Chain A
Amino acid sequence: MSESLRHRRAFWGVGLVLVAFGLLALVGAGELLAQDASQIRRYGDFPVIGARGAIWITAQVHLMFAAFVLGVPMFAIVVEAIAIFGGDKRYDKLAKEFTRLLLIAYSATAIWGAMLTFALSSLYPVFWSYLTTIFGPSMWLYAALFIVESFTLYLYYYGWDRWSEGKAKYGHWGLGILLNVWGTIVMFIANGWLTYMMSPPAEVAADTAPDQVQLWSAIFNATWMPINIHRILANVVFGGAIVGMYAAYRFLAAKTDEERAHYDWMGYIGNFIAIGALIVLPFAGYYLGREIYEFNQQMGITMMGGFMSWLWIIQAFLIGVLFLAGNYYLWIGMGRIPGAERFTPYVKYMLVVLVAGVIVWATPHTIIASRDEIAAMGGTHHPFLGALGVMSAKNTAVNLMILTTFLSFMLYRRANKIPVVNWARSGTIAQGAALAIAAVVVTFYGVYGYFVTAIVRIGFSVYQVLAVLAAMLLVVVLDVMMLRGAKSRGEIRWGQMPPRSQYALFVLAVTFTWLMGLMGFARSGIRQHWHVYEVIRDTSAQAATPALGPAATMISVCVLIFLSLVAIIFWLGGLAEKPAHKDPADLVTAVSRGGEV
Chain B
Amino acid sequence: MNEPRGVRHPFWQAVLLLIGSYLLFKFGISVLPPLIGIESAPVPASVVLQFMATALVGVLLYVSADETRWKQFKEPIHSVAVDADKKVLRTSMLIALPLLVGFLTYRQVSASVGAPPSLRSVHPAPPNRITFRGESMQLAGLENPLRTTGEMSEHLAAGSTVYVRNCMPCHGDRLDGDGHFAQGFNPVPADFTSNGTIAQLTESYVFWRIAKGGPGLPKEGTPWNSAMPAWEDILEENEIWAVILYMYDQTGWSPRTWEEEHEAAEGGDH
Contacts and interface: CB of A to CB of B under 8 A. Distances in A.
Interface stretch (A41-49, A97-105, A294-302): A294-302
A381 interface: yes
A271 B261 CA distance: 40
A261 interface: no
B40 interface: yes
B260 A455 contact: yes
14 contacts: A222-B268, A294-B261, A298-B127, A305-B125, A306-B124, A355-B54, A359-B55, A366-B121, A367-B44, A367-B46, A370-B114, A370-B115, A374-B186, A379-B188
B66 A380 contact: no
Contacts of A455: 256-257, 259-260
A321 B263 CA distance: 37
Contacts of B20: none
A299 B67 contact: no
A9 interface: no
B99 interface: no
Interface string B40-77: 11111111001100110110011011110010000000
- 4 closest residue pairs by CB, A with B: A305-B123, A307-B221, A294-B264, A355-B58
B47 A382 contact: yes
B126 interface: yes
Contacts of B260: 294, 455, 458
B37 to A, nearest CB: 12
A518 B120 CA distance: 20
Interface in A510-542: 528, 534
Given A202-B268, A362-B54, A306 B120 contact: no
B187 A528 contact: no
B159 interface: no
Interface string A300-333: 0110111101100000000011001000100110
A589 interface: no
Interface stretch (B81-89, B161-169, B192-200, B229-237): B192-200
A379 B44 CA distance: 12
B140 interface: yes
Nearest to B258: A455
A199 B115 CA distance: 40
B217 to A, nearest CB: 11
Interface in A275-292: none
A545 B44 contact: no
Given A294-B263, A455-B257, A324 B61 contact: yes
Contact of B61 (A297, A310, A351): A351
Nearest to B45: A373
A331 B66 CA distance: 8
Contacts of A297: 125-126, 128, 140, 261
Nearest to B65: A331
Contacts of B14: none
B134 interface: no
A384 B29 contact: yes
A375 interface: yes
Contacts of B119: 310, 368, 548
A328 B63 CA distance: 11
B122 A365 contact: yes
A537 to B, nearest CB: 13
Given A302-B125, A500-B64, A366 B120 contact: yes
Nearest to B190: A379
Nearest to B115: A371
A200 B269 CA distance: 9
Contact of B196 (A200, A390, A458): A390
A302 B220 contact: yes
A290 to B, nearest CB: 8
Contact of B268 (A295, A328, A363, A378): A295
Nearest to B197: A381
Interface string A446-461: 0000100111001000
Contacts, number: 202
Interface of B: 29-30, 33, 38-47, 50-51, 54-55, 57-58, 61-62, 64-67, 70, 114-128, 140, 176-178, 183, 186-188, 190-191, 194-196, 199-200, 220-221, 254, 256-257, 259-261, 263-264, 267-270
Contact of A376 (B41, B65, B117, B257): B41
B54 A386 contact: no
Contacts of B256: 453-455
B42 A376 contact: yes
B62 A453 contact: no
A378 B42 CA distance: 10
A344 B195 CA distance: 41
Contact of A306 (B70, B125, B199, B254): B125
B188 A374 contact: yes
Given A335-B67, A370-B115, A377 B44 contact: yes
A113 interface: no
A476 interface: no
B270 A359 contact: no
A199 B183 CA distance: 43
A272 B125 CA distance: 40
Given A305-B121, A305-B123, A306-B125, A369 B58 contact: no
Given A351-B61, A370-B44, 17 more contacts: A305-B125, A324-B58, A367-B44, A377-B42, A378-B176, A378-B178, A382-B43, A383-B40, A384-B29, A384-B39, A385-B29, A385-B43, A390-B195, A450-B195, A453-B257, A498-B70, A534-B270
A125 interface: no
B128 A373 contact: no
B188 A375 contact: yes
A309 B120 contact: no
A358 to B, nearest CB: 5
A390 B57 CA distance: 24
B44 A373 contact: yes
B120 to A, nearest CB: 6
Given A344-B66, A378-B178, A298 B125 contact: yes
Contacts of B178: 378
A351 B58 contact: yes
B267 A294 contact: yes
A71 interface: no
B29 A375 contact: no
B57 A324 contact: yes
Interface in A338-376: 344, 347-348, 351-352, 354-355, 358-359, 362-376
